[in-house]
Structure 1
Amino acid sequence: MSTSGHHHSADPDPRTFSRTTLDLGDTLLRPWGRASAEPATLLDGLIFAAADPLIALWNPLAISDRDAALGWLEVREGGWDAGVSASFAAWNAADGVLLGGVTVRWVDRADGLAMIGYWTLPTARGRGVATRATRAVTTWAFRTADARRIEIAHAVGNKASCRVAHRCGYLPEGTLRDSHRFGDGAYHDEHLHARLATDQGPADPAEWSTA
């Protein structure tokens, strides 16, 4: 379903992710999509991101050239069109440089269960970008898409992702054994974190200097 005219639909689903831009001041979160592909510098930015060792390990993008990057954008656009996933690009508001991405998607739409994931480029790390972006998208999903529970699952070895989860108020719920095959081709244990819509949000820390 296209979001154009969505609000006039006869049977709107409250659990629908509708395109929006989230303004965090120095960072803008905008929907990924084919329109983002111009100029082609974004496609090259995605190729660069996919080649980063940490992204390739923990958040493989399967992008090796501009055609693959365009296909990746089209899949994200399709998720927006169907209202089943919300994939945001994080941009530096001052110079338009790509910083990373955040995606929230339904695991069980009827049950209000979603999952969120995030990645940042090397130049954005250590500045709190992942934390602030994830908190913003989490709040947005609870408020506008009627999410009931949002989960984060990250490899046990991904310490930075664990810090982001804690800072965003996602409580640790246990370890999932050999639950996901990562970019190295091996199955890794994952830490499961979750937030409920009824949970009190995390307090604002003075700074997030390492995520």
Structure 2
Amino acid sequence: MAALAFPDPPLTDGVVLLRPWRDDDAAQRYAGFADELCQRFSWSRVEPVTEADVAGAYARDERARLAGESLNLAVADAARPERVWGAASVYDVAAAEQRAAVGYWVAPWARGRGVATRSLRLLAGWAFDVLAVQRLELTCGPDNAASARVAQRCGFVREGVLRSHIPFKGARRDTMIFSLLPGELLLS
């Protein structure tokens, strides 16, 4: 599979900017992802995330990008691109099936501003246009009401619950699954 290219120019709506991660983002990436909500909903391991986990993410992200499997982007303030607000990714890219998944997390200092919704709209539009996917999937825990609202604001349709879907924090967790097809993306 071919490597996934970073969007060039980076994706932006004038408020959020989706750009490649930089080495000097590490402290913000750790601080944002180490937050209680990110750990509750997005970190599957029992032990908390460490700075070493974040440092290792750069190499894992690049290997997955070069393999054509995923693309992980920093979500930054468009006016001050050095300020990281979170992350957005397209992953589980199955080019032959024209399918992929999307995900995101938002740092506590950026919540309540529509950052996740804006980021998801940009990334979904890019996935349809550039990756030519015909189906985007989004998953979240059944108790993650905020993430479900973001998905629905963008036009994703809730398809159901995958019971005992993934290993999560030493047990198994159910997962809500949403999908978005071409022409369904809501831009407002």
Bin the TM-score by the shorter chain: 0.7 to 0.9
Question: Does residue 60 in structure 1 map to residue 60 in structure 2?
Answer: no
Counterpart in the other structure of 1:26: 15
2:107 to 118, 121, 126: 121
2-side partners of 1:77 and 1:63: how far apart?
Answer: 19
Instruction: Name the SS for the 2:91 alignment partner.
Output: strand
Report which of the two structures shows the higher radius of gyration computed on alpha carbons. 1
1:148 to 128, 134, 140: 134
Question: Does residue 17 in structure 1 map to residue 4 in structure 2?
Answer: yes
* Greater CA drift, 135-144 or 73-82: 73-82
Cα RMSD (Å): 2.0
Counterpart in the other structure of 1:10: none
Contact 1:155 1:188 in 2 (8 A): yes
Amino acid aligned to 1:172: R
Contact 2:102 2:136 in 1 (8 A): yes
Contact 1:106 1:112 in 2 (8 A): no
Amino acid aligned to 2:65: W
> What's the CA shift for 1:153?
1.1
Instruction: Name the SS for the 2:38 alignment partner.
Output: helix
1:186 to 168, 171, 176: 171
Contact 1:114 1:149 in 2 (8 A): yes
> What's the CA shift for 1:136?
0.6
Amino acid aligned to 1:71: G
Instruction: Name the SS for the 1:153 alignment partner.
Output: strand
Counterpart in the other structure of 1:209: none
> What's the CA shift for 1:151?
0.4
- % identical aligned pairs: 34
Ranges in structure 1 where 5+ consecutive residues have no aligned partner: 2-12, 205-211
| Residue-pair matches, total | 182
Amino acid aligned to 2:66: D
1-side partners of 2:141 and 2:133: how far apart?
Answer: 24
2-side partners of 1:152 and 1:120: how far apart?
Answer: 16
2:118 to 112, 132, 135: 132
Contact 2:29 2:86 in 1 (8 A): no
- When residues 188 and 68 of structure 1 are mapped into structure 2, their CA distance, relative to the original with a 3 A threshold, is closer
Contact 1:131 1:167 in 2 (8 A): yes
Contact 1:17 1:141 in 2 (8 A): no
What is the TM-score with the length of structure 1 in the denominator? 0.79
Counterpart in the other structure of 2:83: 97
Question: Does residue 46 in structure 1 map to residue 45 in structure 2?
Answer: no
1-side partners of 2:79 and 2:171: how far apart?
Answer: 39
Amino acid aligned to 1:98: V
1-side partners of 2:187 and 2:118: how far apart?
Answer: 12
Counterpart in the other structure of 1:77: 62
